[in-house]
Amino acid sequence: MNSQSQKKTKKKPNPLFEGDRWDYLKTFLTTLFIVVMFGIFNIFYMIHNIFNDNVKSRYNVDAAFESYLVDVLIDQNIDLSKRYPKNYATNMRLGILYSYKRDYTNAEREFKNSVEKAVAYDYTPSYQLAKLYVKINRLQDAQDIMDNIGERPNKRLINFKGDIYNKLGEAYYNQGYYALSMVKYEKAMSYYQIISKKKLKETKGMYIVSCIALADNYVQVGKIDDAILSLEKAYELEPKNITLNYKLGLLYSDNDVQKAYKLLTFVNNEDPEIMNYDLYFDLINKIADLEAENGRPTEAELYRKKALQYQKFVKNNLLYDKDLFFDVMKLDVNNDIAAQEHIINLQFRLQNNSSLDISNLYVKAVFKDGDKIFQTSTQQLYDETRVFKAGVTTPPISISASEPYSKDYRPDQDWVVQVYAYKYPKYRVLIFEKQLKKPNLTP
* Confidence check: pLDDT of 250 > 70: yes
Least confident of 36-40, 123-127, 134-138: 36-40
pLDDT band for position 438 (50/70/90)?
Answer: confident
Helix, strand, coil % (nearest 5) of the chain? 60, 15, 25
Cβ–Cβ under 8 Å, residues 81 and 94: yes
**CA-based nearest residue to 187, from 209, 164, 208, 211:** 164
Q: Which long-range contacts (CB under 8 A, 24 or more apart) does 148-155 make?
A: 149/123, 154/121, 154/123, 155/194, 155/195
Give the pLDDT confidence of 399-424 residue by residue, as tens digits. Answer: 999 998 887 778 888 999 999 999 88
Task: Please say if the pLDDT value at position 36 is more than 70.
Answer: no
Higher-scoring residue by pLDDT: 183, 384: 183
pLDDT at residue 277, rounded to an integer? 80
Listed in sequence order, the DSSP H helices in 275-321 are 277-293, 297-317
What does each C-alpha distance from 300 to 286, 290, 309 come to in angstroms? 9, 8, 14
Burial of 123 (C-beta count, 10 Å sphere; 0-12/13-18/19+) = buried
DSSP secondary structure of 132-195:
HHHHTT-HHHHHHHHHHH---S-HHHHHHHHHHHHHHHHHHHHTT-HHHHHHHHHHHHHHHHHH
> pTM (2 decimals)?
0.67
Q: Name residue 7's amino acid.
A: K
Average pLDDT in the chain: 85
Identify the top-confidence range among 148-152, 228-232, 321-325, 427-431. Answer: 228-232
- Structure confidence at residue 100 (pLDDT): 87
- What single letter denotes the amino acid at residue 403? E
| Four-residue CA torsion sign, 290, 293, 297, 301 | positive
For residue 66, pLDDT over 80 is answered with no
Instruction: Compute CA 427 distance to the chain's CA centroid, rounded to the nearest angstrom.
Output: 26
Mean pLDDT of 175-186: 96
Give the Cα separation of 62 and 41 in Å (integer): 10
Alpha carbon 294 to chain centroid, angstroms: 47
**Could you tell me which residue, 35 or 132, shows the higher pLDDT?**
132
Q: How far is CA 202 from the centre of its chain?
A: 11
d(CA 332, CA 324): 23
Per-residue confidence band for 4, with pLDDT thresholds at 50, 70 and 90 = very low
Per-residue pLDDT tens over the stretch 108-128: 998 999 999 988 889 999 999
For the cut 70, the answer to whether the pLDDT of residue 44 exceeds it is no
Closest CA relative to residue 113, chosen from 101, 104, 126, 103: 126
53: pLDDT strictly greater than 50: no
Segment (H or E) for 7: helix 2-9
Residue 360 is given by DSSP the state S
Dmax (CA) of the chain: 105
